């Protein structure tokens, strides 16, 4: 099977997959999916926006950029206690991974003690941890990894060729450098992109080529459908043909067969048939819970009903006792340093 995990895809091969008749592509993706995964299991992550709005970057799709008037209230970094409350609620409603996102270009030195305490606290609850905080240098990546962060999300967003039309405040190479630092630190990589931003099929192929030709594939590949937010430059972007979205999922599945491909932003605008088709194309992860970071997501009970109707089961996460013990030790240290009973209790 390992020879099916390739890192030498050519542009012609990626384009050819997109050009296949739809049924042939779906068959190929399903066949690949079944060799690596149980096709009826889906991994469930819940998002939490730990720092919302007022971001200095200019990503044309993003409601959190300070450059666009999207009516979003800026918020300070959440308290560790509040994040842990949200994580408990996410676990109680069925999530196995908790993904914390911040509207930052990159974390500042003063933020690190708080975010690492969040990681240790969430981890000690028996959840997998993920963060997306912008660009990381090697030392920051290592600090997060040492705190017990399992995944770091940092998307390439689109092809290198289309990238300049979407973001000017950080380069494609900056993103690749952050992903390199994450990989080097020992954390798992979560990286994907957004479709429906006016890119063409070659750009969607170009994005997947970048991801699939990395020395190691990202363990998690979010495929986001653009959520069009009033006030952003992409608010009036024409809709992408839903079949082109499904094709992107299918090609991601074929090019990165052992990775979890996540049906990410945009589910609120998809009907159930389209979501079922995305699962058939090889998507095996979702964001779960009523909110993404700032925009709506389907209600949790609606998702559970859909899973039931499709015979889909949640992918379980096996808690590693050593990891939990490590997280508890870190929490106890944080509690002592802050002389804070809450952390002490959370660590027990
Ligand atoms: N600020 C950090 C960064 O950009 O690296 C982390 C948070 S940022 C909101 C995480 C990702 O969310 C972006 O890379 C982008 O892929 C996705 N995203 C943001 N706004 C979106 C939208 N309107 N539709 C779809 N995806 C979106
Ligand atoms: C990812 O690829 N998608 C998520 C997560 N990683 C952080 C974010 C989607 C955000 C959608 C717009 C919003 O809710 O603000
Ligand atoms: Fe800031 Fe991230 Fe939004 Fe870009 S995507 S504007 S970096 S929050």
Q: Give the tens place of pLDDT for each residue, 183-211.
A: 999 999 999 999 999 999 999 999 999 99
Percent residues over pLDDT 90 in the chain: 81
The maximal CA–CA distance of the chain, rounded, in angstroms, is 63
Report the separation in Å between the CA atom of 157 and the middle of ligand 3, taken as the mean of its atom positions.
11
Report the separation in Å between the CA atom of 278 and the middle of ligand 1, taken as the mean of its atom positions.
21
Please tell me the distance from the alpha carbon of residue 290 to that of residue 125, in angstroms, as a whole number. Answer: 21
Tell me, using a 6 A CB cutoff, whether residue 295 lines ligand 2: yes
Mutation probe of ligand 1 site: the residue of 153, 265, 268 with most atoms within 8 A of C-beta? 265
CB 187 within 8 Å of CB 157? no
Q: Which of 14-23, 74-83, 146-155, 232-241 is least confident?
A: 74-83
**Averaged pLDDT, 103-107:** 97
CB 135 within 8 Å of CB 174? yes
Report which ligand 2 atom has the smallest distance to the Cα of 61. Answer: 12
Supply 104's token pair: 């930052």
**Averaged pLDDT, 321-335:** 77
Whole-Å CA distances, 29 to 2, 77, 88, 208, 278: 17, 41, 35, 14, 11
Report the separation in Å between the CA atom of 50 and the middle of ligand 3, taken as the mean of its atom positions.
13
CB 75 within 8 Å of CB 53? yes
Asked if residue 151 has pLDDT above 50, the reply is yes
H or E element, residue 137: none
SS3 262: strand
- The total of other beta-carbon atoms located within 10 Å of residue 281's CB is 27
* pLDDT for res 249: 98
Supply 173's token pair: 């190479």
CA 84 to chain centre: 19
- The burial of 197, by beta-carbon neighbours within 10 Å (0-12 exposed, 13-18 middle, 19 or more buried), is given as buried
Name which residue leads in pLDDT, 112 or 337. 112
Q: Which of 81-95, 212-226, 327-341 is least confident?
A: 327-341
* pLDDT for res 91: 94
Does the pTM of the predicted model rise above 0.85?
A: yes
Pairing state between β 128-132 and 151-153: parallel
* pLDDT for res 331: 78
Mutation probe of ligand 2 site: the residue of 54, 65, 224 with most atoms within 8 A of C-beta? 224
- Which tens digits make up the pLDDT trace of 9-35? 999 999 999 999 999 999 999 999 999
Residue 148 zone, left/alpha/beta (φ > 0; ψ -120 to 50; rest): left
What is the pLDDT confidence band of residue 290, given thresholds at 50, 70 and 90?
A: confident
Supply 110's token pair: 């003063």
- The total of other beta-carbon atoms located within 10 Å of residue 292's CB is 21
* pLDDT for res 137: 97
CB 154 within 8 Å of CB 178? yes
* pLDDT for res 152: 98
* pLDDT for res 317: 87
Report the separation in Å between the CA atom of 10 and the middle of ligand 1, taken as the mean of its atom positions.
28
Name which residue leads in pLDDT, 336 or 345. 336
* pLDDT for res 191: 98
* pLDDT for res 348: 40
What is the pLDDT confidence band of residue 347, given thresholds at 50, 70 and 90?
A: very low
State whether CATH 3.40.50.2300 applies to domain 47-316+328-345.
no
CA 161 to chain centre: 22
Helices (H) and strands (E) in the chain, counts: 13, 10
Asked if residue 225 has pLDDT above 70, the reply is yes
CB 285 within 8 Å of CB 260? yes
**Residues with Cβ within 8 Å of residue 26, at least 6 apart in sequence:** 246, 250, 277, 280, 281
Name which residue leads in pLDDT, 324 or 336. 324
**Averaged pLDDT, 257-264:** 97
- Give nearest CA residue, ligand 1 atom 10: 132
CB 136 within 8 Å of CB 103? no
Asked if residue 343 has pLDDT above 60, the reply is no
Where exactly are the structural domains of the chain?
47-316+328-345
Q: What mean pLDDT is reported for the chain?
A: 93
First vs last C-alpha separation in the chain: 43
Give the residue among 106, 133, 136 at the shortest CA–CA distance from 119: 133
Name which residue leads in pLDDT, 162 or 318. 162
- Which tens digits make up the pLDDT trace of 163-175? 999 999 999 999 9
Asked if residue 229 has pLDDT above 60, the reply is yes
What is the pLDDT confidence band of residue 333, given thresholds at 50, 70 and 90?
A: confident
Mutation probe of ligand 3 site: the residue of 47, 62, 155 with most atoms within 8 A of C-beta? 62
* pLDDT for res 340: 60
Asked if residue 344 has pLDDT above 70, the reply is no
Residues forming the active site: 55, 59, 62, 99, 130, 190, 262
Report which ligand 3 atom has the smallest distance to the Cα of 65. Answer: 6
């Amino acid at each position: 099977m390992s020879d099916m995990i390739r890192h030498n895809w050519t542009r012609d091969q990626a384009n050819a997959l997109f050009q296949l008749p739809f049924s042939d592509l779906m068959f190929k993706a399903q066949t690949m999916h079944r060799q690596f995964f149980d096709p009826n299991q889906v991994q469930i992550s819940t998002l939490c926006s730990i720092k919302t709005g007022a971001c200095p970057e200019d990503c044309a799709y993003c409601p959190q950029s300070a450059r666009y008037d999207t009516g979003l209230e800026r918020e300070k970094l959440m308290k560790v206690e509040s994040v842990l409350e949200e994580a408990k609620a996410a676990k109680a409603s069925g999530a196995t991974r908790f993904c914390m996102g911040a509207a930052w270009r990159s974390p500042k030195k003063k933020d690190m003690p708080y975010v690492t305490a969040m990681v240790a606290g969430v981890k000690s609850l028996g959840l997998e941890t993920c963060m997306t905080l912008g660009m990381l240098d090697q030392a920051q990546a290592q600090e997060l990894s040492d705190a017990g962060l399992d995944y770091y999300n940092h998307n390439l967003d689109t092809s290198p060729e289309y990238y300049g039309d979407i973001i000017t405040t950080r380069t494609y190479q900056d993103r690749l450098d952050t992903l390199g630092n994450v990989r080097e630190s020992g954390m798992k990589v979560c990286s994907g992109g957004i479709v429906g931003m006016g890119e063409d099929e070659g750009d969607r192929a170009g994005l997947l080529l970048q991801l699939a030709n990395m020395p190691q594939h990202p363990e998690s590949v979010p495929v986001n459908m653009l959520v069009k937010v009033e006030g952003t430059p992409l608010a009036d972007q024409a809709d992408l043909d839903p079949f082109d979205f499904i094709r992107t999922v299918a090609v991601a599945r074929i090019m990165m067969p052992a990775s979890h491909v996540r049906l990410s932003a945009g589910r609120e605008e998809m009907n159930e048939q389209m979501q079922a088709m995305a699962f058939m194309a090889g998507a095996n992860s979702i964001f779960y819970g009523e909110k993404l970071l700032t925009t709506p997501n389907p209600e949790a009970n609606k998702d559970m009903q859909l899973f039931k109707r499709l015979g889909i089961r949640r992918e379980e996460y096996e808690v590693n006792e050593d990891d939990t013990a490590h997280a508890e030790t870190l929490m106890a240290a944080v509690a002592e340093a802050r002389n804070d009973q809450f952390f002490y209790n959370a660590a027990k």
